[in-house]
Amino acid sequence: MIRTFNAPSAYVQGCGVLDSIGSYVDADGTSAVVLADETVFDLVGESLSTGLEASGFTVDRIEFGGACTHAEVARIAERAGDADVVVGVGGGRALDTAKAVRAEAGSRLVTVPTIASTDAPTSSISVLYTEADEFDEFQFHGANPDLVVVDTAVVAGAPTRHFRSGMADAMATWFEADTAVRAHATNVFEGHSTRTAHAIARTCYETVREHGRSAVAAVERDAVTESVEAVVEANTLMSGIGFESGGLAAAHSVHDGLTQVAETHGATHGEKVNLGTLTQFVLEGRETDELVDLIDFSLDVGLPVTLADVRLGDRPEVRLRRVVEADVRTLRDDSQRAVRGDAAGGQRRPRHGGRTRTRASRRASLTSRFGYRFFKRTAPERDRRRLLTPASSR
Ligand SMILES: NC(=O)c1ccc[n+]([C@@H]2O[C@H](COP(=O)([O-])OP(=O)(O)OC[C@H]3O[C@@H](n4cnc5c(N)ncnc54)[C@H](O)[C@@H]3O)[C@@H](O)[C@H]2O)c1
Ligand SMILES: [Zn+2]
């Protein structure tokens, strides 16, 4: 078995760190292109330029159009020319675009997430979309960013919705990486997980659970506390390493399926992933207590737990079954194999003492409805009304 582990070369996180970003960029040349959308340039453009220029860089700003498409990558790559450093700034879309530009330009790459909304800042892949904003393809660049710089003051000052979405993305990391290990599935680099990646994924989840409630309360007030620092690191660094080197499973497959339904386009990546994690719990036949625990935490921090929360409350079964059946099938099999512990070459290692194929299969039959009925049936009475009310009207 070949085990692989990849990560960004350097990671810097702290309050106000953007002012000195230039001192962390290790580059032979002196030209930098900075890629960000208008909102983000307004927020951090000045401090970024000042920070880079203070270390001798010439800075060329390129405005990001907001969509990570082939056309946008080509446009920006042409503008970037032979710049020594590409600096991508903003949310997942801007950073994914910067990664694709770096792949074409051959320069060094710095990512500067200004929201802790996904684990895109540290990963080596880009998610490309069509002009109609539908998923197009994953680009596997084979190289992670050379440097990731996260200014926690900027992240804490952003809308809390982004922050809690990143927490959902981070929590999924553990359940997917753990399932991938038990299924002997390969990671993004087509190797098997290391114990290192597995441990990082576990710590990622534990950090979000330990600090999440407190961190969300702080971000509501734009405050940077130790809990905020902890969750930013989990959402960004631990989650990125954990998913790429640990492995993915059903949660992100369900997310990918949901992106095919136009009604969900208003939901963030992390919000859709949270439904994916809950669905994966059902697929794996986890105990109701575990499911309820994750639902309780999600409700506490303001994450969606029902299809109605992502605008699919109106008889979703027909649409969802049509759209996601094919997408989920493979990973469902992986999840069941993991529960049974009978993947090729593996030994029998049921996760919760004695769980069997029958039980997994029974639970998995709920898959075609994304656990919708299961959620309705098992929701604690006190949360039932809330669970069935769209987040938007709470
Ligand atoms: N490559 C990967 O490994 C990976 C992993 C997860 C998600 N993704 C991708 O990431 C994308 C989703 O990223 P996202 O959720 O960050 O959304 P996004 O990139 O669309 O950004 C959301 C919005 O946040 C705004 N914003 C950024 N910083 C801000 C700040 N400080 N204050 C106020 N507004 C700010 C931006 O202007 C943008 O409009 C999807 O395309 C998804 O496929 C990629
Ligand atoms: Zn994700």
What's the burial of 104, exposed, middle or buried (CB within 10 Å: 0-12/13-18/19+)?
Answer: middle
pLDDT in the model for residue 256: 84
Q: Whose CA is nearest to atom 32 of ligand 1?
A: 158
| CA–CA distances in Å: residue 211 to residues 4, 134, 197, 274, 311 | 30, 34, 21, 18, 29
Q: Say whether 119 counts as a known binding-site residue.
A: yes
**What is the sign of the dihedral through the CA atoms of 195, 200, 201 and 207?**
positive
| 21-58: pLDDT as tens digits | 999 997 767 899 999 999 999 999 999 999 999 999 99
CATH of domain 11-156: 3.40.50.1970
Ligand 1 atom nearest the C-alpha of 68 is 41
Q: Say whether 314 counts as a known binding-site residue.
A: no
Residues with CB under 6 A from ligand 1: 37, 39-40, 43, 68, 90-94, 96, 114-115, 117-120, 123, 125-127, 154, 158-159, 165, 268-269
Taking 80 as the threshold, does the pLDDT of residue 373 lie above it?
Answer: no
| 123-140: pLDDT as tens digits | 999 999 989 887 888 999
Q: Say whether 192 counts as a known binding-site residue.
A: no
Ligand 1 atom nearest the C-alpha of 99 is 1
Cβ(9)–Cβ(147) under 8 Å?
yes
Asked casually if ipTM beats, i.e. exceeds, 0.95, the reply is yes
Ligand 1 atom nearest the C-alpha of 118 is 6
Terminal Cα-to-Cα distance of the chain (whole angstroms): 49
Q: Are strands 11-14 and 108-113 parallel, antiparallel or unpaired?
A: unpaired
Residues flanking ion ligand 2, Cβ below 5 Å: 169
**Cα–Cα distance between 189 and 6 in angstroms, integer?**
8
Taking 60 as the threshold, does the pLDDT of residue 378 lie above it?
Answer: no
H-state helical runs in the chain: 38-53, 70-80, 92-105, 152-157, 160-182, 195-220, 226-233, 239-241, 250-259, 269-283, 288-301, 316-340, 357-364, 372-378, 381-387
Taking 70 as the threshold, does the pLDDT of residue 380 lie above it?
Answer: no
| 221-232: pLDDT as tens digits | 999 999 999 999
pLDDT band at 364 (very low <50, low <70, confident <90, very high): very low
Q: Which residues are catalytic?
A: 169, 252, 255, 269
Which ligand is closest in space to the CA of residue 114? 1
Domain ranges of the chain: 11-156, 249-394
**pTM of this prediction?**
0.85
Which residues, including other chains, have CB under 8 Å from residue 202's CB and lie 6 or more apart? Answer: 174, 178
